[in-house]
Amino acid sequence: MLWETCQKVEDVSSHDTRSLIGDLKDTLAAFRKANGFGRGIAAPQIGKLHRVIYVNMQSGGFEGALINPVIVRQDDRRIELWDGCFSFPELLVRVSRAARIDVEYVDEQGQKQTVAAEDDLSELLQHEIDHLDGILAVQRAVSPTAFMTRKEWERAGRPR
C-alpha cells in the first residue's frame, strides 16, 4: 500500500474523512509517546489511500490536517538532511529537499489554504506528500550509502 498513489478526497466533511483525520492524529500521538519522535503521518501509513496528511510540528507551531495537499512552488535552494520515517522508524536516509515550498491544501473546515514552508516544515511536508504519491524516503536517498540506523545517528550526535 505504501507504494500506491492516493486518491483525492472529494468530501472533506464526510464521516469517513473526519474519522481518518482523527485516526491519523491519534496514531501520530501514540507513536510519538511510544518512541519520543514523530512529526507527521500520511493516510497510506495507516492503510488508507486518501490524500490526507496530519502534521504536529511543535517547533514550527504547525498542527493539523492537510487534505489534498499540492506543492505549487519550490525553491531551487536545497537542504540535505537525515530523514526518518514512521514506516521504518529505526532507519534514517540522507535526502535532498527544497529548502522552501508553498503548499496549497484544504483544511478540516473545507477552506482552501496555502502554507509557505521553510527548512524543517518544508522537508516534512515534502516527505508526507511523497507518501501520497507512493514514494518513500529510501527512494530519495542521495547515494547508495546514505543510510544509517537511528542508534548510529544518535551516537553521532544527531547530525543534520
**Average pLDDT of the residues in 88-113:** 97
To the nearest whole number, what is the mean pLDDT of the chain? 94
- Main-chain phi, psi angles of 110, to 5 degrees: 85, 10
DSSP code of residue 144: T
Give the pLDDT confidence score for residue 60 in this predicted structure: 64
3-state secondary structure 39-104: CEEEHHHHCCCECEEEEEEHHHCEEEEEEEEEEEEECCCEEEEEEEECCEEEEEEEEEEECEEEEE
Residue 158 has pLDDT above 90, yes or no: no
pLDDT over 70, % of the chain: 99
Between 156 and 99, whose confidence is greater?
99
Domain 15-155 in this protein, CATH class = alpha beta
Q: What pLDDT, in 10s, does the model give residues 14-61? A: 999 999 999 999 999 999 999 988 999 999 999 999 999 999 987 667
**Average pLDDT of the residues in 80-94:** 94
**Average pLDDT of the residues in 115-144:** 96
Residue appearing with cell numbers 545517528: 153
Active-site residue set: 128
Give the pLDDT confidence score for residue 24 in this predicted structure: 98
